[in-house]
Structure 1
């Protein structure tokens, strides 16, 4: 795919798009200044679902972190010379209530984030489709059909798993770090030493992991587009392939593209194999246990508090473990989103001119020194040169010429499939470029 006429200027939320041949009156405007901002602008369209998801994720992790604390309190009660059966019953019922309540909140959480994922994919697909309909024929002539199909299908499909489970589990991971910290501080603020050290190192390790993963994810999406485009061209042009005996060359090209696509996945696996946070958590658990035992020897902790503390440290295993694949899903989604935006940002040469001239047509057609070229720069080829003629209303004009002489091109200039390079085409004395496209 060529990048000629790429428009990389940021488009902020609520701004009107550039030139296009087709538009929808009530079209929602998204922020196309970057992949992340584009996705966020899609999510902000459904604020109630977003708020419900974030609230439910926080509540779920607070309740989950409360269980180790209750377990620690139960240990302390059991170890007393005369345990209170009433208090133990209260702790057990509290734990049961938390488990049941957490189940209901989990359902709400799953419903909200699944709705966000499905609607983001649907809206992005509709936005891209409207954008493609608004592009000129010249734009579509430059594109590889297989690559557009890869972006319109597979790249957009990546947005759904990016949201759920990707963003969903990352959000829960953040909550699963905050909630245990709060409960640990209620036991003994000194116990925050090990988890805080772990979180600091974890953030640096995760940042390095994401930086390594980002270019690989982008290359995966690009290679998938190349693979799809090459396959589409081979199948659609199978008659030429057969007549020119190019089967072996096409097979080699496909194998080369497939190998590069596979290599990107292998590289992703190598990066994931070097994932460090799980190892770091093991060190953190060891330091935490040693620190807790030292505080116990100083008489600052009870056995139950140690049990509760280690249970809360165990909660940190969720973000450490889950990040290995959630961030890869997010990176794949962002890479796909960037490819979608790259396509939508490309300017079209012809505008619908919504405020242009519109009136009932009489049919007075005039070509005045029209010159038209297909292609750009050195690849441009002159199709029509200094064409002048007039067709009055009701008059029939015969256009005769050899195949490829430009007869069909004349008709495409009349309905503005293409615009002329020099001269003008007018209907009823009004230049076609002044007409409203829908009226024309």
Structure 2
């Protein structure tokens, strides 16, 4: 299930990590073919050099020396290596393009997936770890392709050439290359199995390091306000040490790479065997020289595989972490084929129960209704479940039991986008993007004209302070609106809500940071807007409570009472106590 999805022309197989990577690569068949052709041609032409040198060596030993043959061999080396350079360029270019496209496509797929996850998922997923996966882990997949797979393909072809060419000197000379290939495959298989675990540890440690750093930066005001810089540095050092230890462990495994020993043993066996055949006069001196040159080709896969297989392991570990994030279950479905219509504004709670954690209900047996166009105030002590109640209406969260209806239709039956476009919630913790003031106001209505933006800002009593900025509506504000006061952020959020003209407007203590005079002006704008919409006020402001058509009293997750202000003052002791407390606060 997903809260949001898009029609993608490229579908991918997410059943396993390798299949997911291959499904992305399958869209680049020509590039794969170019890389493989370049890898084979590069290795084949590399094998030509020792063969030509061996032939030139025999020509030099003739009496007199066959200088013409030596010259032709030299021209052969030049021609073959010039062609080889072109093929190698094609191989490297193809793998580099594939790596970049792989990174681009996977990052886009992950971004779409993250936008489709429910709020419940994002509440439990550290932002820093998510960013590490979306940036560093995705880039590791790029490096998996180039240089990782690129070098693996190249080294595989270099290993084949001695086995193919050596028997042309003497059939027995295939023994040493065959010994190296078999033992190399066994050694690399074991090496990759051990490296996989430590590569996963390295990526997890980096995610933890990045996650903690993001938390510290995001909460920098709290860190400095409580003078906890030293403690945070200590925690960062602990995470950095964990990451370093994992990376050092990976280095120790790479240092014990057995093929380095196998290369020396193979060359020793091969040289001894070749000299033995030479003594039997079954091969010439030039054949011995050419054969040893062929065995030297094993040096490329031996030395380069340290980097190549490490990159492949880290790339697959990164891909596993990305796929883990994408495959994580989300609890809400966008219901693309669901009900779509203009909301009239009726809201009904039918025995609604909700909890964030199993066994700890936040809301229990909520049962009341709101008529279209009504203004309803929700009051109660801190922790009574007021904000949670509001977030069920637009399906930020889904009810556990019971039903929540909008216009007599279960919210789960609505098309999620159609539902949310017509419901606006202004929360206590207001989020503003690091964009211009105008762009922030128009976020929910990107096609709005400047005149519409200004009109909404005026209604929210934000126009005057915006004009005091040097660049007015083009002023770029800091992330989360940190360069603004609390009251300014709230007024911009109100302007954003007014611009979208929602059918249901939910204000979660959204005027708590403004002065009484500004609040009165904002309330007048809300009253004017309320004539065409259903308005839900989560508030402790007495003026707003008295103004409401209906008041819902919440206590410990339950609905204590519901009715008009006058009715509740006469019938509900709990409401009277709350009202008196609010009255004392305002005084």
Whether the aligned pair in 2 keeps the contact of 1:66 and 1:183 (CA below 8 Å) is no
Residue 148 in structure 1 maps to residue 127 in structure 2: no
Aligned residue runs from structure 1 range 186-265, under 5 A: 186-242=168-224, 246-265=228-247
Residue 55 in structure 1 maps to residue 34 in structure 2: no
**Displacement of 1:38:** 1.4
Residue 417 in structure 1 maps to residue 399 in structure 2: no
**Displacement of 1:344:** 0.8
Q: Secondary structure at the match of 1:105?
A: helix
Q: Secondary structure at the match of 1:129?
A: helix
Q: Secondary structure at the match of 2:379?
A: coil
The residue aligned with 1:308 is 290
**Displacement of 1:414:** 1.5
Whether the aligned pair in 1 keeps the contact of 2:59 and 2:67 (CA below 8 Å) is no
Whether the aligned pair in 1 keeps the contact of 2:353 and 2:363 (CA below 8 Å) is yes
Give me the CA root mean square deviation: 1.7
Residue number among 87, 92, 106 corresponding to 1:110 in the alignment? 92
Which ranges in structure 1 are unaligned for 5 or more consecutive residues?
Answer: 1-18
Residue 294 in structure 1 maps to residue 279 in structure 2: no
Cα distance in 2 between the residues matched to 1:294 and 1:93: 32
Larger RCO: 1 or 2 (CA < 8 Å, sep 6+): 1
Residue 87 in structure 1 maps to residue 87 in structure 2: no
Cα distance in 2 between the residues matched to 1:27 and 1:356: 23
Q: Secondary structure at the match of 1:439?
A: helix
**Displacement of 1:78:** 2.1
Q: Could you say if the C-alpha distance between residues 404 and 28 of structure 1 is closer, same or farther in structure 2, counting changes exceeding 3 Å? A: farther
Aligned residue runs from structure 1 range 396-435, under 5 A: 396-435=375-414
Q: Which moved more, 1:73-82 or 1:49-58?
A: 73-82
Q: When the two structures are superposed, what TM-score results if normalisation uses the length of structure 2?
A: 0.69
The residue aligned with 2:363 is 384
The residue aligned with 2:539 is none
The residue aligned with 1:439 is 418
Q: Secondary structure at the match of 2:295?
A: helix
Residue deviations 1:53-109 (CA, integer Å, cap 9, x gap): 111111111111111111111112222224444433332222211111111111111
Whether the aligned pair in 1 keeps the contact of 2:213 and 2:236 (CA below 8 Å) is yes
**Displacement of 1:241:** 3.9
Which ranges in structure 2 are unaligned for 5 or more consecutive residues?
Answer: 420-587
Residue deviations 1:235-276 (CA, integer Å, cap 9, x gap): 323444455554444333222211111111111121122122
Cα distance in 1 between the residues matched to 2:377 and 2:154: 71
Q: Secondary structure at the match of 1:24?
A: coil
The residue aligned with 1:276 is 258
Cα distance in 2 between the residues matched to 1:316 and 1:57: 15
Larger Rg: 2
Q: Which moved more, 1:265-274 or 1:356-365?
A: 356-365
Whether the aligned pair in 2 keeps the contact of 1:177 and 1:319 (CA below 8 Å) is yes
**Displacement of 1:51:** 1.1
Residue number among 98, 102, 113 corresponding to 2:80 in the alignment? 98
Residue number among 66, 77, 81 corresponding to 2:59 in the alignment? 77
Cα distance in 1 between the residues matched to 2:257 and 2:248: 15
Provide the aligned length of Structure 1 versus Structure 2.
419
The residue aligned with 1:174 is 156
**Displacement of 1:360:** 2.9
The residue aligned with 2:374 is 395
Whether the aligned pair in 1 keeps the contact of 2:345 and 2:371 (CA below 8 Å) is yes
Whether the aligned pair in 1 keeps the contact of 2:50 and 2:294 (CA below 8 Å) is yes
Cα distance in 1 between the residues matched to 2:181 and 2:378: 76
**Displacement of 1:303:** 0.9
Residue number among 294, 318, 321 corresponding to 2:300 in the alignment? 318
The residue aligned with 1:37 is 19
Residue 367 in structure 1 maps to residue 349 in structure 2: yes
Cα distance in 1 between the residues matched to 2:404 and 2:232: 43
